Amino acid sequence: MKRQRWAGRAFALALLATCGPLLAADFQAGVARVEITPPQPFWMSGYAARTHPSEGVYQALWAKALALRDDEGHRAVVVTTDLIGLPRAISDEVAARVNARFGIEREALVLSASHTHCGPAVRKNLAVLYDFNEEDRRRVDAYGIELVDRLVEVAGKALEDLAPASLSVGHGAVGFAVNRREPTPEGVKIGVNPAGPVDHDVPVLKVTAKDGSLKAVLFGYACHNTTLGGDFYQIGGDYAGFAQAELERARPGATALFVMLCGGDQNPNPRGTLDLARQYGQALGAEVGRVLDTALLPVRPPIRTALEVVPLDFAPHTRAAFVEESASPDKFRQRRARLMLAAYDEGRPVRQTPYPVQAIRLGGDLTLLALGGEPVVDYALRVKRELAGENLIVAGYCHDVMCYIPSRRVQREGGYEAVDNMIYYGQPGPFAETVEETIFAAVRRVAERVGLR
């Protein structure tokens, strides 16, 4: 079914290509970028093993924005960042200010993070990793406050830049992501599992200015930005940073925006050196470039948007369990236990976390599904099965990265993405078994609201 429909559209596109002007400029598009490299030295995020702040910068970090407007005045803005993840506190403030200043509704704003593990600590994200002194805390808070200003600024600049443009979409693939959930006699460990599920899809949204020049390219990949490990102390964007830089070098004047997909259980393989990060970035950038030069499917108006925030239930827990954990020799468990005990003592034990599920659909041609947290690859694979026939970008790491989002399968198997990550995210423990179905029910509702079902 899917193949037939696409083949039909490819044929129509070939006809268009031979019959005159390829695409009408039925959208307006705007782009902007703002640098968000932290002052040096700065505490980095992503690895519990790091013991001191950064020792330099191998690549500047950016917040970028792509604004779209259709011929009826509907607008949407996608903001991408070279950061570990945005916490709800920052996203909510950015969204409120973008709404007040520019009139963009919350459901029309995507706030995404590349999940680079060479980026700065972002306040209120993964706070259990750190035991900051007063000066560290002041610096991290100051960066977080400045970050809100920069994200509002980049969205505003992209809206100011709106000009006639045409959109088209295609897909490529690169193979450096591997499933990292390695089965061992002691359970699932973070390693390499060549037999585990992966999603090597590289969706590419091309934005062409009226004069035919490439204005922007938004692309994604489902793989942790963890080529570099916890023993590495320089700031940069990992493979996604190199991929964006490669594209912008090869296509002068274009803005390249990376969206992290459902790579919660996906790592680059092999890992560990700056050279590898550069190679993966070049491979991904080259693949996006190859796709850009093929005959892509036109994307048409209108812009339709929907957002739901659904509560995800945690498995039941007791105060006694955290009293016991607070005596653990593990300092991270101690910190998590203190957070949970404080919540119990305030009479509001953490039983749920709010979870954002957003759909942005362009015509009948492309849907960007933007999920919160670190969804494992099963989510993208299932969305693609359930919404077969639709051209999809299934992003994770949007709006609020509050913890990993395991599928029911991953919950049954256990391991880091199901259980242990909750310590570092300051969450009470594994999710209830309902998490996958709760999210998919929300996916179906937002899909329906954008006319997808």
Q: Which is nearer to Zn ion, 366 or 403 (CB)?
A: 403
Q: Which is nearer to Zn ion, 46 or 285 (CB)?
A: 46
- Min CB(226)–Zn ion separation in Å: 7
Q: Which is nearer to Zn ion, 296 or 398 (CB)?
A: 398
Residue whose entry in the numeric block shows the structure tokens 């051209």: 391
Cβ atoms of 124 and 144 closer than 8 Å: yes
| Segment interacting with Zn ion (CB under 5 A) among 59-67, 253-261, 366-374, 393-401 | 366-374
- Residue, CB closest to Zn ion: 374
The helix or strand, by DSSP H or E, that contains position 279, with its residue range, turns out to be helix 274-292
- Min CB(421)–Zn ion separation in Å: 7
393 token code pair? 């970008």
| Segment interacting with Zn ion (CB under 5 A) among 251-259, 266-274, 359-367, 371-379 | 371-379
- Min CB(115)–Zn ion separation in Å: 6
| Segment interacting with Zn ion (CB under 5 A) among 118-126, 228-236, 368-376, 428-436 | 368-376
* Subset of residues 372 to 391 that bind Zn ion, contact rule: CB under 5 A: 374
- Min CB(315)–Zn ion separation in Å: 21
Candidates 123, 188, 213, 203; CA nearest to 395 is 203
Q: How far apart are CA 140 and CA 121, in angstroms?
A: 7
* Subset of residues 43 to 102 that bind Zn ion, contact rule: CB under 5 A: none
- Phi, psi (5° rounding) for residue 377? -65, -25
Q: Which is nearer to Zn ion, 161 or 265 (CB)?
A: 265
Q: How far apart are CA 291 and CA 169, in angstroms?
A: 9
Q: How far is CA 26 from the centre of its chain?
A: 28
Cβ atoms of 38 and 215 closer than 8 Å: no
Q: Which is nearer to Zn ion, 170 or 263 (CB)?
A: 263
How does DSSP assign 235-247, residue by residue? Answer: B--HHHHHHHHHH
| Segment interacting with Zn ion (CB under 5 A) among 75-83, 132-140, 204-212, 369-377 | 369-377
Per DSSP, the three-state class of 370 is strand
- Min CB(214)–Zn ion separation in Å: 31
- Phi, psi (5° rounding) for residue 207? -120, 115
Q: Which is nearer to Zn ion, 374 or 436 (CB)?
A: 374
220 token code pair? 């994604």
| Segment interacting with Zn ion (CB under 5 A) among 245-253, 267-275, 297-305, 370-378 | 370-378
254 token code pair? 């274009």
**Interaction site with Zn ion (CB under 5 A):** 374
